[in-house]
Structure 1
């Protein structure tokens, strides 16, 4: 199975930046969450439904047909890879001189994908898993506070992948 490399993700980031706006997926981490929710949800979502959602429900005015084709191919390949196996693509930063994982954008993308796929109401146990993702998405950590509770932050980030896997497992049994 072919996977995307750093150059591919840089291209995706550049396209998202070039053609995005306030209603678009902002970066590769958010795209990863978006696609993860789409491929692991209750029912398949056709590309003609989810692709415009990357750009806030519209199709960009592509300057280059080659860039459009490459972007579609890479995003589709990544979605197919995520359908087989996923490991969230979180962002990394530094806080007070220490590495820190940020998951807010991934979680925001995940919720965007779940919303586009129009997920039905979940049973209580699965809702708890979705709440883990929703809580992280609701946090505004664009500017990390100096007094950030790093241990609590890491604990919350560590809970996201198991929550997403639990939701994926639940929906797999419902298909």
Structure 2
């Protein structure tokens, strides 16, 4: 099966809330290792793909959503359902791409939100948690290793990426100080709120050539 390539000139309407719920449910049923099993992770994965100068071939990056290197080995009931999932993923990719092109500051990543009771009062606070988004983002960077290795070697950009790396990395690989930071809701909230600024910096940095080979 040849999966559809992304073409920004084609009208790809944004997913509705109902569409997102349906896609999220389909993703949640995938059991393969390294699969993307929720909309938050998918949103991060697609954002990383778009922040690189070029998209890989659709037959390469789309199967990675379901944890495969082979477009013929999709874990869905039929080729028709596989195509529907691919088209939904492309529609969401297009939505992110339009926003990144028009105004990166206006991008609203799909982060988790939890309500917790404040320690020093009975007030309910909203805690932002971008862990799943960051895990997906780092999966996306693996699709363009040459480019992202240069980004991580750039001191300025590496610093901007720190919140994403801390939230998206296995805590066991972090230092005790870093583990303490990501281990508290307040610390995760602080890091999560820094992620949109990092996306904007990555989108506008000269390293991401304006003469992009991305369609």
Range class of TM-score, shorter chain: 0.7 to 0.9
Measured in 2, the distance between the counterparts of 1:62 and 1:26 equals 13
Structure 1 counterpart of 2:85: 71
RMSD value, Cα: 2.2
Distance change (3 Å), C-alpha of 1:127 and 1:56? same
Kindly indicate whether the alpha-carbon contact (under 8 Å) linking 1:17 and 1:26 is maintained by their aligned counterparts in 2: yes
What is aligned with 1:6?
17
Matched, 1:154 2:189: yes
Aligned to 1:144: none
Contact 2:68-2:74 at 8 Å conserved across structures: no
CA contact (8 A) 2:127 2:185 kept: no
Aligned length: 168
> How high is the TM-score relative to the length of structure 1?
0.84
Contact 2:30 2:37 in 1 (8 A): no
Report what 2:3 is aligned to.
Answer: none
* Residue range with higher mean Cα deviation, 71-80 or 93-102: 93-102
Moved more, 53-62 or 27-36: 53-62
Q: Highest relative contact order (Cα 8 Å, sep 6+), 1 or 2?
A: 1
Q: 4+ residue stretches of structure 1 with deviation over 6 A?
A: none
What's the offset of the Cα at 1:126?
A: 0.9
Instruction: Tell me which moved more, 23-32 or 49-58.
Output: 49-58
Q: Which of these residues, 77, 89, 94, is aligned with residue 80 of structure 1?
A: 94
Unmatched 5+ residue regions in structure 1? 141-146
Q: Name the residue aligned to 1:165.
A: 200
* Matches of 1:44 and 1:16, distance apart in 2: 22
Within a 5 Å distance, the mapping from 1:30-41 to structure 2 comes to 30-41=41-52
Q: Which ranges in structure 2 are unaligned for 5 or more consecutive residues?
A: 1-10, 100-106, 118-123, 172-182
- Give the alignment's TM-score, normalised by structure 2: 0.70
* C-alpha distance 108-124 of structure 1, shift in aligned 2 (>3 A): same
Alignment of 1:118-129 (within 5 A): 118=145, 119-122=148-151, 123-129=154-160
Comparing 36-45 with 52-61, greater Cα deviation is found at: 52-61
